[in-house]
């Protein structure tokens, strides 16, 4: 939910299009319906739809988590999931008056002040064990992993390593949530989560358009004229492609189901480029000269 104009207040209820009394089932239903229509695979190259999809994911991160939803309803966090006002602990104030940093949102910055002025009786009652802070990372994944899905071991900033399941169809900017891989709770509660913002590396072979892939393939003149079979590299491994006799440069052949491995999978479109295996071939020269 980044990239918004400064000062813009994001209301996850409005983004999902549900009321504040909506049930968990209503929230999930609204999210799935909007995610289906806004998914970048349905709008390739549409940056506005991509940003709207990111906002939708961010809204569901809050309302789909009962604890975060309760905090938002109480005004303890904003539409980005950040602590509001004096809700953080052990950190400092930002220029906008937000309290950030420190050991987590469990502490109360007023506690020590009130204790010093009025004695320990002024301390607030311990709210009990609370969840640790979430930790955000930015990770790079290979183009092939985003197309086919994969399980990879990733090194984190703190030196630890996590085994991560990468679902097929990931795009740059989407976030993977790893439960209980964040900071431990200082009050005996469950640990926070690790949030991995994904950056998909480009490929030198394939380009992606929604759930379809495109690539160029060089074919020698003999195969283009007479037809034949050639090997084609796909993200999931090599496959055989039949080249019809008389194929010309620019022709597009489709490998069904060899695109992004979502349900149903996309296709791989192969653009043929005819090349001469040996431009100095005397027989080819005589043929071209009509001799």
The model carries a pTM of 0.56
- Looking at residue 5, what is its pLDDT? 39
Buried b / exposed e along 103-129 (16+ C-beta atoms within 10 A): bbbbbbbeeeeeeeeeeeeeeeeeeee
Q: What is the DSSP letter of 89?
A: B
Phi and psi (nearest 5°) for 285? Answer: -65, -45
Residues of the chain with pLDDT under 50: 1-8, 85-124
Name the CA radius of gyration of the chain, rounded. 27
Rounded Cα gap, residues 36 and 55, in angstroms: 14
Question: Beta strand 175-178 with 194-200: parallel, antiparallel or unpaired?
Answer: antiparallel
- Looking at residue 37, what is its pLDDT? 84
Question: Beta strand 150-155 with 161-166: parallel, antiparallel or unpaired?
Answer: antiparallel
- Looking at residue 204, what is its pLDDT? 96
- Looking at residue 186, what is its pLDDT? 86
- Looking at residue 4, what is its pLDDT? 40
* CATH number belonging to domain 207-289: 2.60.260.20
Domain range summary for the chain, segments of one domain joined by +: 132-202, 207-289
Contact of 206 with 214, CB cutoff 8 Å? yes
- Looking at residue 279, what is its pLDDT? 67
Is the CA virtual torsion 138, 141, 146, 151 positive or negative?
A: negative
- Looking at residue 233, what is its pLDDT? 97
Q: Where are the alpha helices (DSSP H) in 152-237?
A: 221-226
- In the CATH hierarchy, which top-level class contains the domain 132-202? mainly beta
């Amino acid at each position: 939910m980044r990239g918004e104009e400064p000062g813009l207040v994001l209301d996850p209820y409005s983004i999902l299009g549900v009321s504040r009394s909506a049930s968990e089932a209503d929230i999930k239903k609204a999210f799935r319906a909007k995610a289906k229509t806004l998914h970048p695979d349905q709008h390739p190259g549409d940056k506005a739809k991509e940003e709207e999809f990111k906002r939708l994911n961010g809204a569901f991160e809050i309302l789909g988590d009962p604890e975060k939803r309760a905090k938002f309803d109480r005004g303890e966090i904003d539409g980005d999931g950040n602590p509001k006002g004096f809700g953080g602990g052990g950190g400092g104030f930002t220029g906008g008056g937000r309290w950030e940093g420190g050991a987590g949102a469990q502490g109360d910055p007023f506690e020590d002040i009130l204790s010093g002025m009025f004695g320990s009786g002024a301390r607030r009652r311990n709210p009990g064990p609370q969840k640790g802070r979430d930790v955000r990372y930015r990770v790079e994944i290979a183009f092939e992993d985003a197309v086919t899905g994969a399980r990879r071991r990733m090194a984190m900033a703190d030196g630890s390593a996590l085994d991560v399941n990468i679902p097929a169809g990931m795009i740059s900017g989407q976030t993977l949530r790893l439960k209980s891989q964040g900071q431990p709770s200082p009050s005996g509660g469950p640990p926070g989560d690790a949030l991995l913002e994904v950056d998909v590396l480009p490929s030198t072979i394939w380009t992606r358009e929604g759930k379809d892939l495109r690539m160029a393939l060089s074919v020698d003149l003999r195969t283009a004229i007479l037809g034949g079979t050639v090997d084609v590299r796909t993200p999931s491994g090599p496959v055989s492609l039949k080249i019809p006799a008389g194929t010309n440069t620019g022709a597009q052949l489709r490998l069904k189901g060899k695109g992004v491995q979502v349900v149903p999978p996309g296709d791989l479109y192969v653009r043929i480029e005819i090349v001469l295996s040996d431009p100095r071939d005397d027989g080819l020269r005589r043929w071209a000269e009509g001799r």
